[in-house]
């Protein structure tokens, strides 16, 4: 039976105006991270917010409290995001060092096992925005930023979590990682969408395409299905027999979803079991999936 890593992404960059049920306070993030871990998640991904403004921010103390608060109760991998370069919360260009400053501080203090390193750029435009005549934005990750993130991963021993918005992200990510001897193996997270125009919709042919590409680029690398504005549950039946891992949660779910983070986690755990998989715990991921 394939051992499947189940990740939950608790909130994302959306604010409650788009995803009303998502947690934003430290206490909410800790409580929901613990509850999702007990429902089967072995990995928890978080964005921290300023509760006074309701907007995302990058803050070492806030991340540290969430990471330590969840891990004090449940043995799970908890990791943060990066400033969403190009969005209104990070509209000004940053140096690689500035963009990864909070990640580096967390890693230096031994708080990170995974971290976001997204190898490419993509236009994030939703179908609803296009119909309304509004423009999206370019999610920007320069090659210098990717190289800096990989250097930090090698220095501090965390695994790069690659969001693969387009096939070229995987090609660039694999090529750059190959030039950093000793970097922990990246996790390739295939990003599907029904509400945005990037990449593929969540279809079997799309997963097959990504897996064929990965067999050429980085055979045996850990891969995961995920996305933005997407219900990934119907794709789990095809992913599990191929040993592909799964991410769900209110960052990835369709806007306005009635399911909570716990509900998405429970539904994914059930779908994984129905597809013949077993849920891997964090210790198993460290030992088998992530190469420790």
CA distance 186 to 222: 7
Per-residue pLDDT tens for 189-206? 999 999 999 999 999 999
Per-residue pLDDT tens for 15-41? 899 999 999 999 999 999 999 999 999
CA distance 261 to 257: 10
Regarding the domain delimited by 3-289, which CATH topology (the fold level of the hierarchy) does it fall under? TIM Barrel (3.20.20)
Q: Is 63 exposed, middle or buried (0-12, 13-18, 19+ CB in 10 A)?
A: buried
pLDDT at 290: 56
pLDDT at 86: 67
CB atoms inside a 10 Å sphere around CB 123: 14
pTM of the model: 0.96
pLDDT at 84: 82
CA distance 230 to 227: 6
Residue pair 139/86 in contact by the 8 Å Cβ criterion:
yes
Q: What is the dihedral of CA 92, 95, 96, 98, to 10 degrees?
A: -80
Residue pair 232/264 in contact by the 8 Å Cβ criterion:
no
Sign of the CA dihedral running 54, 60, 63, 65: negative
Look at the chain and count its residues.
292
Tokens matching residue 85: 């370069």
pLDDT at 292: 38
Residue pair 11/19 in contact by the 8 Å Cβ criterion:
yes
Tokens matching residue 284: 């198993």
Per-residue pLDDT tens for 253-282? 999 999 999 999 999 999 999 999 999 999
3 state DSSP class of 41: coil
Below-70 pLDDT ranges, the chain: 86-87, 89-91, 290-292
Domains in the chain: boundaries: 3-289
Tokens matching residue 137: 């934005």
pLDDT at 91: 58
Pairing of strands 159-164, 137-139: unpaired
CA distance 58 to 268: 29
């Amino acid at each position: 039976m394939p051992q499947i890593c189940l990740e939950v992404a608790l909130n994302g960059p959306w604010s409650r105006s788009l995803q009303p049920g998502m947690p934003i306070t430290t206490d909410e993030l800790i409580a929901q991270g613990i509850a999702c871990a007990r429902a089967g998640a072995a990995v928890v991904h978080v964005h921290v917010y300023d509760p006074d403004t309701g907007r995302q921010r990058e803050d070492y103390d806030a991340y540290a409290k969430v990471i330590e608060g969840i891990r004090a109760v449940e043995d799970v991998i908890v990791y943060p995001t990066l400033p969403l370069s190009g969005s209104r919360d990070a509209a000004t260009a940053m140096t690689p060092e500035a963009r990864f400053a909070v990640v580096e501080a967390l890693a230096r203090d031994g708080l990170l096992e995974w971290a976001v390193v997204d190898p490419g750029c993509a236009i994030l435009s939703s179908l609803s925005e296009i119909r309304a005549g509004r423009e999206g934005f370019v999610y920007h990750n320069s090659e210098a930023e990717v190289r800096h993130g990989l250097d930090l991963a090698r220095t501090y021993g965390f695994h790069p979590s690659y969001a693969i918005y387009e096939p070229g992200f995987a090609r660039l990510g694999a090529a750059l990682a190959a030039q950093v001897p000793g970097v922990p193996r990246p996790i390739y997270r295939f990003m599907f969408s029904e509400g945005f125009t990037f990449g593929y919709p969540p279809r079997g042919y799309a997963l097959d395409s990504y897996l064929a590409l990965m067999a050429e680029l980085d055979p045996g690398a850990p891969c995961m299905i995920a996305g933005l504005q997407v219900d990934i549950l119907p794709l789990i039946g095809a992913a599990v027999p191929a040993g592909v891992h799964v991410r769900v949660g209110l960052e990835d779910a369709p806007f306005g979803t009635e399911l909570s983070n716990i509900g998405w986690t429970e539904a994914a755990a059930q779908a994984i079991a129905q597809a013949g998989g077993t849920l891997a715990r964090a210790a198993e991921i460290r030992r088998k999936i992530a190469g420790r």
